[in-house]
Each structure stands twice: as structure tokens, then as C-alpha cells.
Amino acid sequence: MLHEQNSIAGLANKVLAKLARRVLVAFPDALPNAEWTGNPIREELARTPAPKARYAARSGPLNVLVVGGSLGAAALNEVVPRALAKLAPQERPRMVHQAGAKHIDALRANYEAAGIATGDDVQLVPFIDDMTSAYANADLVICRSGAMTVAEIAAVGVAAFFVPFPYAVDDHQTTNAAFLADHGAALLVQQRDLSVDNLADWLRSQTRASLADMAERSRSLAKPDATEQVAQICATVAGVTPSLSPEGKQQ
């Protein structure tokens, strides 16, 4: 059995798919004659309350989460603080900006240089341990578009501003992001096109209602049962019966 996580299969999986009894994909059309299961995700992500309820309960400034991953994303760390400075104080969202441990000091310097004070409304962190809560509390996520990030964002149902990593093999992060962007669930901006002005202008144009609509579209494209489905297929291929947890979930 073979499972391809990305929207564009690598060479090894293209070859192995011809030999596999079952071929599973996280994104439609990643491989021919495959079953679209989605990517397995943590169960708590799929249990997050629906976007409509979350967004409707909020008021005040937008909540924006910037995620650079464990290694950080230099382009986001440089552009986001300056874009925020372009907004009038009353237009600025509340920010949680995750930078990666190696980049947190540089990120603080970037915000300071942009004249943006950090504190309760602008939080800079090296890591986020509880990503489920971070996603659930956000109106918008600004991030790269790795396969698992896209799957998690869809599972929670949150609007996304994707800046694909430009050096990914086969540019698969662009097609990962396009899966949501093509359905109005996210915005896809290539790193070469990302600028302080266009990010500031786009943030200024957004409302909680417009982001909630994107979030609903995102949730509709999720595969919340991917983990269970993949486990069931693995068990079938192996000729075994999966055990059940007390809640009736496969283990």
C-alpha cells in the first residue's frame, strides 16, 4: 500500500504506485487510479467547533496567526511586521507570530524596526505547542503550504494566506495551496510577488465575515476521517481486523 502526502507525487512514489495493491492520495489527482483519503491528522483538529460558530462569537480586531514552522520563514518574518506598520492602529489585527527558535531575535528586531510594539496584541513566539488552539483562535493564518499544514487548516476550517516555499521539489507547495485557493478557501501569493504593500492592502480589505466565508469553504474540503480511513485500508491490505478504542475508533 502507498500513501502520497503531497499534491504532486515524487518520482519514487510514481514508480512504487505501479506496484502497490492500494494507492492513497491526500490531494485529488496526485496519482492515477488512486483513492482520495486526505492526510491523517490529529483527532483534536477534526473536533474543533465549526467556523461559523467560532467566528460569530468574536468581535474587535481580527486575530492573525503567522506560522513559519520550526525553521521559520524569513520572507514572512521580514514582510509581516512592515505590512502591519502600514496599517493605521485601529486597522491592525491582533497577532501571534511564530518564528522558529533560530529566528525569534531577528523577528523581534524586525518588529522594533517597523515601530510595532510587542505585547498582548502582538505576541512573538519561537514555538507553538498547542496548534489546535492556535488555529481555532485565529481568523486568518499566514503561512507556507506544506501538505500537513494545508490538511490541518482545512480540518479546523480557518482562512489562509499561503506563501508557498519557492524551492520545494516540483513546486508542490504551490499546488498544495491551490487545492484550497481554487475553491475560494485561501489566498495564494508566490514569494516573488509578496510585498509589504500588497499584504497590507489585502489585510485592510478583509473583514471577519469575509474570512469566515473562506474558513467555511476550507472546512468543506477537509477529510476529517482520513486517519481512520487510512488505518482501515492498511488493516484490509494486511488481512487483519483493527482493534477499537473505548470510543469506537480504530487503533
The grid coordinates listed for 50 are: 465549526
Q: Is 29 left (phi over 0), alpha (psi -120 to 50) or beta?
A: left
pLDDT at 247: 59
Domain 45-220 has CATH 3.40.50.2000: yes
The grid coordinates listed for 226 are: 482520513
Could you report the per-residue pLDDT of 190-239, keeping only the tens digit for each? 999 999 999 999 999 999 999 999 999 999 999 999 999 999 999 999 89
pLDDT at 240: 86
pLDDT higher than threshold 60 for residue 245:
no
Q: Is residue 21 a contact partner of residue 237, using CB atoms and an 8 Å limit?
A: yes
Query: Of 131 and 250, which is predicted with more confidence?
Result: 131
* Alpha carbon separation from 214 to 55, 69, 121, 160, 229 (Å, rounded): 11, 23, 24, 8, 26
- Listed by start position, the domains of the chain span 2-39+224-238, 45-220
Q: d(Cα 158, Cα 219) in Å, to the nearest integer?
A: 7
Hey, CA dihedral for 179, 180, 184, 188, is it positive or negative?
Answer: negative
Q: d(Cα 2, Cα 17) in Å, to the nearest integer?
A: 7
pLDDT at 249: 60
Mean pLDDT of 233-247: 77
* Alpha carbon separation from 143 to 21, 115, 191, 249 (Å, rounded): 35, 23, 11, 32
pLDDT at 20: 92
Determine the Cα angle at 143 with ends 76 and 130, to 5°: 115
> What is the residue type of 215?
A
Hey, CA dihedral for 106, 110, 113, 115, is it positive or negative?
Answer: negative
pLDDT, mean over the chain: 93
The grid coordinates listed for 5 are: 502526502
Mean pLDDT of 103-110: 95
Query: What are the DSSP calls for 54-120, one per residue?
Result: HHHT--SS-EEEEE--TT--HHHHHHHHHHHHHS-GGGPPEEEEE--GGGHHHHHHHHHHTT---SS
Please name the residue that has the C-alpha cell 499544514: 149
pTM over 0.85: yes
Q: Is residue 92 a contact partner of residue 123, using CB atoms and an 8 Å limit?
A: no
Mean pLDDT of 72-96: 94
Could you report the per-residue pLDDT of 165-201, keeping only the tens digit for each? 999 999 999 999 999 999 999 999 999 999 999 999 9
